[in-house]
Structure 1
């Protein structure tokens, strides 16, 4: 497990054999440090856990990482993408602000910062925190779902489909409550065509039929796949070791439930404060689920949870002293 110097997310999982200090992923030394570590040990592969890490380590995946090229490729294989516009940088995006149909989602073409929900034109400037090619998409929050799996030598060897019940942050966020559902076989065929030439783990994120993102790395709700009977990380590693590929894709049981507890509690509390959710419905949403998969919350493996708590505590003083707005 690699950790940057001074990171508060560095308390390792019990499943991590050792902790390796590397420079921050944003520096040139990061990739060199990871590759140097690979030469020192009997490692099978590197599994990026963030978009920044994936980009830094390279691999010729620009056509799937760059959202402009991704959308072009998706349309070619018959997967629709949200209505969007592409701009060369911050100034061009701002100049077109009056032409956009709000609300929208603003994101870098190649991820350097998170996607931002923009309700009105006046909020556009604050959303453009990084200059460079930018994609502005129509905001869609209906039918959020994901299709993840493993592709190996042009074949889909495992597939997990999940329906997102709630996300956090609540408009542009990660799944904080989700459940496995029956497969979308037509989508699977088109995803294999889209990712032709790629091998490994993937997670495609959609709003209804519209593909809005594709992650080629370990993703946040992977514990759901494991709990439902398909460990995508383990399968990917087994294939690299030379394990035989089954004739049909591995599939999970449907109805398995996943919760990112921190995110789900915050999401439900926001919904209650806004009046979108009644207190009784909030309690039902947060009731414990037997055999639920969880994110970093585990009493058997407390390291990641303690890291999250330390990070939250470090940010709390800044929030407490933040001046109030004039409204």
Structure 2
């Protein structure tokens, strides 16, 4: 690559390694204190950010100060929702020092907030499941009593605020992105906590089928609205098994899904990288749109291994380098987060759907790993050592809880 301008990545090793494949010098910026990602040999430097949710001004000031110290103008990348919102809301100030591509500000806000997204989807006629917003202060009990779509899920409008560790999620009894409700009787122990929850909630009809029926469309749209590159994917395993975080995913190449995703992204007017999640109905095959994420994510690493490196294409576009000829996509490349997938395996084995030999065989198929690479083992080795120490302490205390959902190298899903 002719241009060697530096990149600043607010995120994780999945994105760093995409850029390292094409020789881009990367500074890894993180606000997570325990991350071992900065130990990667692919990180030219590390930058500690204030938490963008609680101190956005401090995070912006730190990023601007970093850019001033760079020999040439850096390119900015972002991963999780807090990072996306930070860059979007400070886009004009950050654009004085960085090059980056991002969706329009009002659209970003609407996509991150599920209540706003529901209103946008209804206005545009997007194929979303039946949905009911439950704003704070409303009579949620009455709204739930009138709800007729079962099974269903209860979601936070914004996952980053007031969800993890909330009394409502504790009453549900297990960590999850959403709360699953099979029938009206299951509301009984939850209703007081639903009524007391201070943040907006969303009730949505659950599409039948397990999480392997969740498929996704990924693309990079230039500022002119051109889809430079695309790929599709599917979930293989999640933890928890129902409505959990991805622990193993697979790159696919479905033409009809690409066409559907491209049409919806164009209707939304998206620019930059996009990810659209759908769930396929097992009987009708209809695809329902679940969410839209206009940010970089874990899928870009296995896709880069498969031959479609979206972050590298963004970098080329923003630095004025010529775009390479399209490469054929290798279908079937898998990404896996080992500790998370170990939890998933235990879950699937209890239900009789996965044996130890089958799980070990699936590990052998993976070509991209969360945090680990054979040519860059130190971050994973240190994270695993920390995990062993934490687990040992808990066993000594006779608590022995389940393995954590996220280790020190957590990645936005």
Residue 187 of structure 1: how far off its partner (Å): 1.0
What's the CA shift string for 1:170-218, capped at 9, x where partnerless?
A: 222333223222232431332332441x432121111121111222222
Q: Quote the Cα distance in structure 2 between the aligned partners of 1:129 and 1:308.
A: 37
Sort the Cα spacing of 1:284 and 1:170 in 2 relative to 1 into closer, same or farther, 3 A.
same
Q: How does 1:272-291 map to 2 (within 5 A)?
A: 272-273=349-350, 275-277=351-353, 279=355, 282-287=356-361, 288-290=363-365
Secondary structure at the counterpart of residue 66 of structure 2:
helix
- CA-CA distance at 1:11 after TM superposition: 3.9
CA contact (8 A) 2:316 2:323 kept: no
Mapped pair 1:242 → 2:320: yes
What displacement does 1:47 show?
1.3
Tell me the SS of whatever aligns to 1:34. helix
Report the Cα distance in structure 2 between the residues aligned to 1:7 and 1:200, rounded to whole angstroms. Answer: 30
1:108 maps to what in 2?
156
* Other-structure match for 2:9: none
Distance across 2 between alignment mates of 1:321 and 1:128: 36
Counterparts of 1:129 and 1:321, CA distance in 2: 34
Does residue 1:206 correspond to 2:278, yes or no?
yes
Selected match of 1:38 from 58, 61, 67: 67
Structure 2 CA distance for aligned equivalents of residues 35 and 262 of structure 1: 36
Taking the aligned partners of 2:65 and 2:139, their CA distance within structure 1 comes to 41
Q: Hey, what does 1:3 align to over in structure 2?
A: 30
Q: Give the match for residue 220 of structure 1.
A: 298
Per the alignment, residue 21 of structure 2 pairs with none
Structure 1: runs of 5 or more not aligned: none
| Shift of residue 16, structure 1, vs aligned partner | 1.4
Aligned-residue offset at 1:19: 0.7
Report matched runs for 1:1-327 at 5 Å. Answer: 1-4=28-31, 6-9=33-36, 11-28=38-55, 29-41=58-70, 42-59=72-89, 60=105, 61-89=108-136, 92-93=139-140, 96-100=143-147, 101=149, 103-112=151-160, 113=163, 115-119=177-181, 120-121=186-187, 122-123=189-190, 131-140=198-207, 141-142=209-210, 143-152=213-222, 153-181=224-252, 182-183=254-255, 184-196=257-269, 198-208=270-280, 209-244=287-322, 252-273=329-350, 275-277=351-353, 279=355, 282-287=356-361, 288-290=363-365, 292-306=367-381, 308-309=383-384, 312=387, 316=391, 317=393
**Contact kept in structure 2, 1:157 and 1:250, CA below 8 Å:** no
Q: How far off its partner does 1:235 sit? A: 0.7
Report the TM-score, using the length of structure 1 for normalisation: 0.82
Which whole-Å CA distance do the structure 2 matches of 1:179 and 1:89 have between them? 38
Judged with a 3 Å threshold, the aligned counterparts in structure 2 of structure 1 residues 186 and 71 are, in CA distance, closer, same or farther, namely farther
Secondary structure, aligned partner of 1:52:
helix
TM-score computed with the length of structure 2 as normaliser: 0.67
| 1:9–1:307 CA contact under 8 A, matched in 2 | yes
Tell me which residue corresponds to 2:406. Answer: none
Contact 1:204 1:213 in 2 (8 A): yes
Distance 1:199 1:107 in 2: 26
